[in-house]
Amino acid sequence: MPKYVYDFTEGNKDLKDLLGGKGANLAEMTNLGLPVPPGFTITTEACQAYLQSGDEPQEMREEVSEHLDSLEKAMGRTLGQGDDPLLVSVRSGAKFSMPGMMETVLNVGLNDESVQGLAKQSGSERFAWDSYRRLIQMFGKTVLGIGGEHFEDALEEAKKARGTESDLDLDENDMRRLVDTFKGVIREQTGHDFPTDPREQMDLAVRAVFDSWNAPRAILYRRQERIPADLGTAVNVVAMVFGNLGMDSGTGVAFTRDPGSGQQGIYGDYLQNAQGEDVVAGIRNTLPLQKLEEIDKPAYDQLLEIMKTLENHYRDLCDIEFTIERNKLWMLQTRVGKRTAGAAFRIATQLVDQGLIEMDEAVTRVTGDQLAQLMFPRFDAKADKEQIAEGMNASPGAAVGKAVFDSDRAEAMANDGEAVILVRRETNPDDLNGMIAAQGILTSRGGKTSHAAVVARGMGKTCVCGAEELDVDLKGRKFTARGGAVVKEGDVISIDGTSGAVYLGEVPVQPSEVVRYFEREIDAESRDTDSDAMDLVRAVHRIMTHADEARVLKVRANSDTPEDSARARRFGAEGIGLCRTEHMFLGDRRQHVERLILATTLADSDEAQEERDAALQALLPLQREDFVGIFEAMDGLPVTVRLIDPPLHEFLPDLTELTSAVAVKEARGEKVDDHERALLEAVQRMHEQNPMLGLRGVRLGLVIPGLFALQVRAIAEAAAQVKSDGKDPHPEIMVPLVGAVQELEVVKEEALRILAEVAEETGQDVPALIGTMIEVPRAALTAGQIAEAAEFFSFGTNDLTQMGWGFSRDDVEAAFFSRYLQLGIFGVSPFESLDQEGVGRLVRIASEEGRAARPDLHLGVCGEHGGDPDSIHFFAEVGLDYVSCSPFRVPVARLEAGRAAIVGMGSDSR
């Protein structure tokens, strides 16, 4: 039989799964001999049983009675009875801190009789009736579900009648009247009287805490913080100590270090003559914690000593709640405190310097998400701002510029030195030039996996997507926002990719010193500057240096340009894991692609062959030059080039638009030239109902003669040229969308022939690995066969997720993802963090079977998940050789790979 209730003397800080964070830490402080009010904890297992059955286990009721009896004997008082009644608080406490998300009830046990005993024992009628009205108010809100405004309005009326704004000016008669008023509210709202039986109050409060685990705000918080929904909360029943007994009493919150900056010192707030919720509710202005020294020096000195004890014991920043009852200090809670990203890095290195932790542990004390927060520019929080819309926070950062509604215009204005924000309903590959030129991207449609979001994150570009309040008029070059505000092209706007907010006008931006460090503009070892920013840079440098020393998993970058490749290398990338060649066919080169497609649609003939050859020959030198720049930037490091992947119709005009344009010309009697008509016929012929499952990837290379051969030759000739210049290129050729080994064998045979030809022609032997993306489920399930032809696998987890789930990535997020998240079907979008149970199993199967067939098989990942912290830990555990992500995410991946190795998830995988 499970044990459902633990006395504080029975637990410890390592029992958070069972006792929750609050209960485990109350037990730990009790064991340390600190002044903790006695009490007991009802376990998370009891909560789970209650939520499953709708009722408490009988064993739990019996254990609660036993522990309550022991508590009454220890205190020499009885719950809610006699001249000196025992009162208790009933508090939530889950494994993971969820501040304010669940319920607390104080002063449980008060009724019309025990309030008299409390008044007699305390010597204060006002205190007793104030405590009683607080119980009824909290009980009504949390247990009975009555709107808090009913009680708050009555309290305001009482203060108004007294002619004051402070509840401290209300006397015992005011409090008596409020008790009667609050009882009336309960009777009116529920049809029942406030329960006066003390044990009934406690039992109902315990149920309310259990129920609050599934309150909407708790569910939302868990989803945001990725806290599992099945953990449940513990309940702590604690003997009441009172901070509202007079001016020699009070309550406060303290931090052993500044949670905002990480600086050591005395941080916190104190409120005299108050109970704990008063500090949080902000009903009165608090005093800085240092003022307690003037008010009650013995208690202050004792508190500082306890703070030091706790920080040394927990070896971390501690968040502490305390109450002083008539000059006696009581500890009500401690936990490892939440902190800003900057504080996390500073504190981790400070604790190393103090000898409390080692560098291994310091690396595990920070996260990739925190590092990412430090890398993005931010708006000045103190600046005046006028918000006009809100969308999805697709790519963090702060961007300011003139609103521009097409990419060519954005590029032109940026070239003239103007900062611009590209505003679109949604973006597509043709917008790449504008996206690169813009300071940020704003769309009225799309989500976190839309084109705008994915590309923006890859570039480290601020982006807000799906701002549905915006009515974007592309022809009129304007948008209409919240409240009817109209923003025309050239008007300045500011977008916050961290919150999703859109502001009118310019909001001041603060640059990130951490990015300047990664860009090697700042020397972390320099002692010329001792600013707070440099302190942070030094802390980041120390953590990153140790993470790099610890990690097994290598980190590459996804990059298509020499500029991005050079930046990725500065950011610590150890190669290119994905170079997409389709981006190299846009812009001025589109005409050659159209020519190739038109030739492909012709019947086999000498003319068709000549047209194909001419188009391919025109593209060859352009593609070769693209690769030369990338190989030079990545001198000595591997560069994995993916042969063209998307269906060719993406490089052609939209079918509907082209059909309409031709029809309009015909209706007007205007001449439709041969090129337009041929282009329309080609688009019609190549149109597919589901192009992402159609003629793309390896299928395209096998159907269009010479296409892959062109690309392989361009790669080989570029590598030969770079090698002849004295550099050391390491090309890897990746064939996309392979589902059967026979597809890869055909492409590989041709590629090896071309590599040999180029080596003979140039006199430069540049070996190139040939491998494939694993993005089709069949490829994962036949990985052993494919590995016999492939020298490496790179998991394309975007398509593997799409095909594994049967999702159309472009449609599902807007269609139903929000509902799936709300229902708990997803904890997080599977396009943001890898579905380890399903898609992850495909990755594991392919890795194991591939390496069984070819032990020296290189394994990597190049999907969006390569930069996701949780996914990186999984890839390390599976035994991949590298992850590849956008250049801006490279430092994040380096840190997470180090953390994975230190916690043992990647250290023994090879």
So which residues are the catalytic ones? 451, 862
Which ranges in 123-197 belong to alpha helices (H)?
Answer: 125-138, 148-162, 172-190
Where is 456: in which H helix or E strand? Answer: helix 451-459
Residue 243 structure tokens: 């901070």
Element containing residue 64 per DSSP (H, E): helix 58-75
The amino acid occupying position 404 is V
Q: What is the DSSP letter of 5?
A: E
Comparing CA positions, the residue from 553, 573, 555, 574 lying closest to residue 909 is 553
Distance of CA 11 to the CA centre of its chain: 33
| Spatial separation of the C-alpha atoms in residues 193 and 201, rounded to whole Å | 12
Using DSSP, state whether 748 is helix, strand or coil.
helix
**CA dist., res. 554 & res. 556, Å (int):** 7
For tokens 């030969």, the residue is 720
Question: Chain centroid to CA 19: how far?
Answer: 27
Q: Say if residues 565 and 636 touch (Cβ distance below 8 Å).
A: no
Distance CA 396, CA 498 (A): 4
Cβ(779)–Cβ(786) below 8 Å = yes
Q: Residue 3: how many CB atoms within 10 A of its CB?
A: 13
- Please report where in the chains the tokens 């902000």 appear, as a residue: 282
Closest CA to 242 of 123, 103, 71, 337: 123
The CA R_g of the chain, rounded to the nearest whole Å, is 33
Query: Please, is 689 exposed, middle or buried when counting C-beta atoms within 10 Å of its C-beta (0-12, 13-18, 19+)?
Result: exposed
Contact 572, 895 (CB under 8 A): no
Measured from the Cβ of residue 846, the count of other Cβ atoms closer than 10 Å reads 26
Kind of pairing, strands 440-443 and 250-257? unpaired
877: its two tokens:
């555990």
Cα three-residue angle 856-554-585, rounded to 5 degrees: 90
